[in-house]
Structure 1
Amino acid sequence: MFTLHLFSIFTLLITALLHPTRAINTSHHTRHARRHAGHASMDATAVRRSPAHIAAYLEGHNVVRAAHGVKPLQWSPYFANLAEQWADACNFKHTDGVLSDKPYGENIVAATGPFSVHAAMGTFIEDAADFNPHHPHFTHYTQVLWESTTELGCASSVCKDLLGPSTGPATLYVCLYDPPGNVVGGMRQNLPSVFHHS
């Protein structure tokens, strides 16, 4: 069993208003992230970059995109490297665009206990149940489906006390998207299948 923490919709909407070109979904109520005692080992990095892990990240997005007639995402080593930097620092908060001069979208999730790539990507898709086309708002799900996004780079890290001192280690997943999704004013153009099916 795992404990899952996602950013509130309120935090997401505030971020969208403050950073309209980088409207980001992420995952935690507090503004304070605890830092990992140390960085991931080289072996851990090799495992996280394995073809199987990359395929799992892409599949977690592209199966849903295909179901909506949206072109598949391609893997971005550049954004995977940036995601890895953020995950390894155990920053459980928005990057606010500090990783690159190039704008990007973002989804972040963390959980304690066993938490696979498939499970993490599944949390992004679960947000579909919260999408109401009559009162649309940005979610992890809308970033996954955003049509103008073409590339994805993700990474994970196990972080000590990330969710609090009594929770134990948690796995933090960071996915970055290029071009960014969840851009204010672009919802109907980039999510036509979501509006059409409603």
Structure 2
Amino acid sequence: MTYGRFVTLDGPGGVGKSTTLGTLAELLRRFGTPVHTTAEPSSSALGQFTRSHADQIQGRALACLVAADRYEHIRSEIQPHLDGGETVMCDRYLASTLVVQQLDGVPERFLLDLNADILLPDLSVILTADPQAIRRRLAERGAHHRFERDPKVPAREAALYRRADQTMRRLGVPVLVVDTTQATPSDTAKRIASALRAVPGSVASGPIDR
């Protein structure tokens, strides 16, 4: 059986994750790669509930909702498309959890325990940008949730994503970090596509090594 590759895109709000994902998907399809794009929270009823209540539900309760949606997302959408040989690209995944939920006061150990049996990506892409550029982009775009309304968050996020990078590598996940301060979505997509050429076309699942 041929399995697809699982690629995740994470990073602070305002770094261009969604635009880059769409650009990358179009680029890969032009090369003949079957691609399925998705996002977290997922489009399921649980994912929609999590997204719509993320400003009201906080801390460990929100972390548990995010993890529950992730397990259902893997079972109902991600794994079937991988089994069909598609490259699955997800806008936000574990690296975002390790940052956003820690901004909400949840310890990393708790988050890793919650996600101990998830499917790990074949490539984790972390998009970054200068905190000042992020603040400017968020002001122009408008905040999507409570974290983006706090002007102190971009600098804290940058530090937490550096830590998440190291945690993902410790879990055995290849990580590509791309600074989007000056790069266009097209430039970023080309960098990711180039990195994907070195990723085997198979997906290994199993518990996180603690």
Normalised by the length of structure 2, the TM-score is 0.26
Normalised by the length of structure 1, the TM-score is 0.27
